[in-house]
Amino acid sequence: MNRGSEPTLLELSVPGRQAWSLQRNELPDRPIESCIPPEHLADHRPRLPEVSERDLVGHFTRLSHRQYSVDLGSYPLGSCTMKYNPKFADEVAALRGLADVHPAAPEQAIQGWLALVCDLEKALCSLVGMAGATFQPAAGAAGELTGLLMVRAFHAAGEARSRGGAAGGGAAGRGGGSGHASSGRTKVIIPDSAHGTNPASVTLAGYEAVTVPSDTRGCVDLAALREAIAGDVAAVMLTNPNTLGLFEEDIAEIARLAHNRGALLYYDGANLNAILGMVRPGDMGFDVVHLNLHKTFATPHGGGGPGSGPVLVSERLLDFLPGPRPALMGDGERYGWMVPERSIGRMHSWHGNALVVARALAYVLYNGSAGLRKVSNLAVLNANWIRKRLESSYQVPFDRPCMHEVVISAEKLKSDRGLSALDVAKRLLEEGFHAPTIYFPLIVREALMIEPTETESLQTLQALAEALERIASGTVERDAKPAPRTTPVGRVDEARAARRLEITG
């Protein structure tokens, strides 16, 4: 990758230079003041760069050479499923008949899109064992909030019903500010290994997050859960396999506990890549599932988005799904929009990240059900290979087979040789790999969370393991310059960034 540094586009800017050109539109010219009252007109132009197209292309191409990516190499970032994405999905997303469609076009102009979304809904429902889905949420976190708002609306409606009040309709759906007060359910239980978005979403949904600890097996501590679960719990929110890469073996019991107390079971689908075609959240007892299409269903992550976080629900939550949603109309020949009776409302300006949805469907078609199972099998195989291989050089806190990712610890390395998880990560960058996720989940000290994904070959895994072993056998010398030393920039001063906030320029 490109060392040195690259000025910002504004620094490259020279007054009067221009890249843009516009077609002739032949309209009679007319002073802008005759259209728009002068008090609305700006007295200066926004300070944007002025560059030639050549300078623009040079700049962003050079920037791209300062960026690591899946296409350049292994990216074993745990919890992120940074797999290789087949290239044809880019061509799918570029199809003019998909990309150039206005979201408010009348139904006869969008039959293809409506069918596409319905088809993916069908396939995903089958895959996770649910009854219906919304594709409005633009990412996993948005899916979580959407799912929790549906949980909320569900309980509110139940309460209304049980009080003999006027159930159904927008009021219950909207789950107004006082919703949980009336339902009496104010809490959502999450394990201490949960991803940060889970507790944050719980709060945004107006619930109190109650954390239950993990036990020595790395799973939810059943006893603690039993204690926590009471009539004020709206939902238990889990991911399975959990963020330690371990399957919650007691999931059936957990589901029973939750359901017995009238709580719903929420599935954070970020880790679905482990279990495609092997076991279904629906069959485990989950009521609501959000998926990260940008993880399991192979949308490249785009440096941090766009994603897509559809929420799938069981029969009894169908009525609460956000609307409008696409559906096959009564005649069975035409697709149209419908709003579920007790819909919570909209969760997106339009219909979600539609082009990501299209990519995901293409991925499903490419793999088929057997192919998807193979995806998971290889993802799990690769993670276990890494786990086994690194057993001797790192600590593996939980001595059992993992699923699609493995959490190892540099705790001993740190005490023995002064090598922290951060040091290991930064040295791995030097070796030409991306680093694993570090210091997450929070419950493992000096955690390194490795998710090799199914698309990496044994050769790549070997090279990765060798690099990690090489690093483990090193030490941190006091005065040496810290790693990484061969990357486009050296160790970045993060503290300075926060201290002297420079966020434009």
Partner 1 sequence: MLSFLGLRTLEELYSAIPEALRLGAELELLDGLPAEGLSETEVMAWMDGYARANIPVGRSSVCFAGGGAYDRGAPSATRSLAQRSEFVTSYTPYQPEVAQGVLQALFEYQTTVTALTGLDISNASLYDGASALVEAIRLAVAVTGRTAVLCSQGVHPAWRDVACTALPAASISLEMLPLRDGATAWPTGYGDAGGVPGERPGAIVVSYPNYLGCLEDIAAARRLADETLAILIVCFDPVAMGILRSPGSWGADVAVGEGQPLGMPLSFGGPYLGLFATRMDLARKLPGRLVGKTEDIDGRPAFVMTLRAREQDIRRERATSNVCTNQTLMAITAAIQLGWLGPGGLAEIARRSAVAAHYCRDELCALDGVRPLVGAPFFDEFAITLPIPAQIVIDRMLEEGYLAGIQVPPELNTGSDKGLLIAVTERRTLAEIDGFVAALAKVIC
Ligand X SMILES: Cc1ncc(COP(=O)(O)O)c(C=O)c1O
Near ligand X in 197-256, by CB under 6 A: 197, 239, 243
Q: Does residue number 334 form part of the binding site for partner 1 (CB under 8 A)?
A: no
The binder of 349, among a second copy, partner 1, ligand X, none, by C-beta within 5 to 8 A per type, is partner 1
CB–CB of 193/443 below 8 Å? yes
CB atoms within 10 A of CB 496: 10
**Closer residue to partner 1 in complex, CB, 195/414:** 195
d(CA 102, CA 376): 36
Which residues, including other chains, have CB under 8 Å from residue 360's CB and lie 6 or more apart? 120, 293, 297, 298, 299, 308
User: Least distance in Å: CB of 130 to a second copy?
Assistant: 30
**Closer residue to a second copy in complex, CB, 319/454:** 454
Q: Which stretch binds a second copy (CB under 8 A): 70-78, 110-118, 220-228, 234-242?
A: 70-78
* CA 91 to chain CA centroid, nearest Å: 22
CB–CB of 353/301 below 8 Å? no
d(CA 198, CA 79): 14
Longest Cα separation, the chain: 78
CB–CB of 225/214 below 8 Å? no
Q: Does residue number 191 form part of the binding site for ligand X (CB under 6 A)?
A: no
Q: Which stretch binds partner 1 (CB under 8 A): 158-166, 310-318, 369-377, 448-456?
A: 369-377
User: Least distance in Å: CB of 352 to partner 1?
Assistant: 5
**Closer residue to a second copy in complex, CB, 420/460:** 460
Q: Does residue number 432 form part of the binding site for a second copy (CB under 8 A)?
A: yes
**Closer residue to ligand X in complex, CB, 207/335:** 207
Binds partner 1 by CB under 8 A, chosen from 100, 333, 477, 479: 100
d(CA 152, CA 174): 9
**Closer residue to a second copy in complex, CB, 128/362:** 362
d(CA 400, CA 87): 36
Binds partner 1 by CB under 8 A, chosen from 223, 227, 283, 315: 283
DSSP string, 130-145: -SEEE---SSHHHHHH
**How many residues are listed for the chain in this entry?**
505
- Three-state DSSP at 45 gives coil
Q: Does residue number 307 form part of the binding site for ligand X (CB under 6 A)?
A: yes
Q: Does residue number 136 form part of the binding site for ligand X (CB under 6 A)?
A: no
Torsion of CA 449, 455, 456, 458, to 10 degrees: 120
Site for partner 1 in 391-410 (CB under 8 A): 400-401, 403
- List of E strands, 221-271: 233-238, 264-269
Binds a second copy by CB under 8 A, chosen from 47, 87, 102, 500: 87
Site for ligand X in 311-370 (CB under 6 A): none
Q: Does residue number 368 form part of the binding site for partner 1 (CB under 8 A)?
A: yes
Angle subtended by helix axes 197-204 and 140-162, to nearest 10: 40
**Closer residue to a second copy in complex, CB, 30/87:** 87
**Closer residue to ligand X in complex, CB, 59/195:** 195
Q: Does residue number 365 form part of the binding site for a second copy (CB under 8 A)?
A: no
CB–CB of 356/345 below 8 Å? no
CA atoms within 13 A on the CB side of 314: 17
The binder of 473, among ligand X, a second copy, partner 1, none, by C-beta within 5 to 8 A per type, is none
d(CA 201, CA 142): 8
Contacts with a second copy by CB under 8 A: the residue count is 31
Q: Does residue number 58 form part of the binding site for a second copy (CB under 8 A)?
A: yes
CB atoms within 10 A of CB 253: 15
The binder of 412, among partner 1, a second copy, ligand X, none, by C-beta within 5 to 8 A per type, is none
CB atoms within 10 A of CB 87: 9
Q: Which stretch binds partner 1 (CB under 8 A): 271-279, 311-319, 411-419, 466-474?
A: 271-279
User: Least distance in Å: CB of 57 to a second copy?
Assistant: 6
Q: Is the peptide bond before 397 cis (omega within 30 degrees of 0)?
A: no
Cα distance between the two ends of the chain: 24
Q: Does residue number 54 form part of the binding site for a second copy (CB under 8 A)?
A: yes
Q: Which residue has the tokens 């620094």?
A: 11
User: Least distance in Å: CB of 376 to ligand X?
Assistant: 16
The binder of 459, among a second copy, ligand X, partner 1, none, by C-beta within 5 to 8 A per type, is a second copy
- Least Cα distance to 489 among 75, 80, 68 occurs for 68
Q: Does residue number 73 form part of the binding site for a second copy (CB under 8 A)?
A: yes
The binder of 42, among partner 1, a second copy, ligand X, none, by C-beta within 5 to 8 A per type, is partner 1
**Binding site residues, ligand X, CB under 6 A:** 79, 139-141, 195, 197, 239, 243, 268, 270, 292, 307, 309
**Binding site residues, a second copy, CB under 8 A:** 1-4, 12, 14, 17, 52-55, 57-58, 61-62, 65, 69, 71-73, 84, 86-87, 432, 455-460, 486
